[in-house]
Amino acid sequence: MIDLEPTVIDEIRTGYYRHLFHPDGLLTGKEDAANNYARGKYGIGREMLELALDRAVYDILLRNLDTPRPTYTNLNRLLGQVVSAVTASLRFEGQVNVDLTEFQTNLVPYPRIHFPLITYAPFIPASKAFHESLSVAQLTNACFEPANQMVKCDPRKGKYMSCCLLYRGDVAPTDVNNAITSIKSKRSIGFVDWCPTGFKVGINYQPPTTVPGGDLARTTRAVTMLSNSTAIREAWERILKKYNLLYSKRSFVHHYVGEGMEEGEFQDAKEDLAALVMDYKEVDS
């Protein structure tokens, strides 16, 4: 339930029927659109849309970082932290640096199967900065947990083709090797038959940096994992289902046709996405 103006939904949050609604599903802004469609669609409404769409990121803030009502700033800071970790090897020295061009070499087995699933650990709230310290093995295991993913899907329902682990901070190569050996021994983490040990490792000495006053605690080490997993097809299937619901009612189609698109382009795009889902299923099988 989303409303730009908080008054009505606040009544639900504190009212008699509040137990019927999960707090995660009640999203509010700070001001309404004042009956102005353009303001709602292109202004403050667009910011609320981001809160509604970034489900995985929103869940991380809510459950892992103790942020009861995440804002646009919270979302951007978290995403910025992950992007910074991915590109750290471009800016800092490390024992095993990974260039961005190596991602494509190690993560993409086929041209169309090129959508990485990004995971980050640890997600420790600032309030617990001095109470929690995770080992390299714990961080590595956390990368395979759905709660730490930036895309909402279940990796246990798919298979990994390759994984690129990017460590930052106080990390020793021997600890990384031991952690990966432990991961390989777990039956719950499956790899495709033709690539049973697909790990690429990068180690950067620069510890992770956080925004002062932000949601994340400052830690001595962190890891970001870019993986190519067939589980990400859940995201494409979700988009395809929602597209079918909208297109069956021809919702907003006239806007696109009015700007010069052909209706056949909608069908082509749908078929292309459906073919992508099938490609991932074939890899999985």
- Known catalytic residues are 102
CA–CA separation, 76 and 89 (whole Å): 21
Q: What is the DSSP letter of 218?
A: P
Residue 190 neighbours by CB distance under 10 Å? 18
Tell me the CA distances in angstroms from 99 to 15, 79, 92, 208, 265, one per residue in order: 54, 20, 11, 18, 37
Under 8 Å between Cβ of 148 and 85: no
**DSSP strand E in the chain: where?**
2-3, 27-28, 117-121, 160-169, 199-204, 221-229
Task: Using the structure block, give the residue that is written with the tokens 């390759």.
Answer: 162
Task: Using the structure block, give the residue that is written with the tokens 């992770």.
Answer: 208
Element (H, E) at 107: helix 100-107
Task: Using the structure block, give the residue that is written with the tokens 């390989």.
Answer: 184
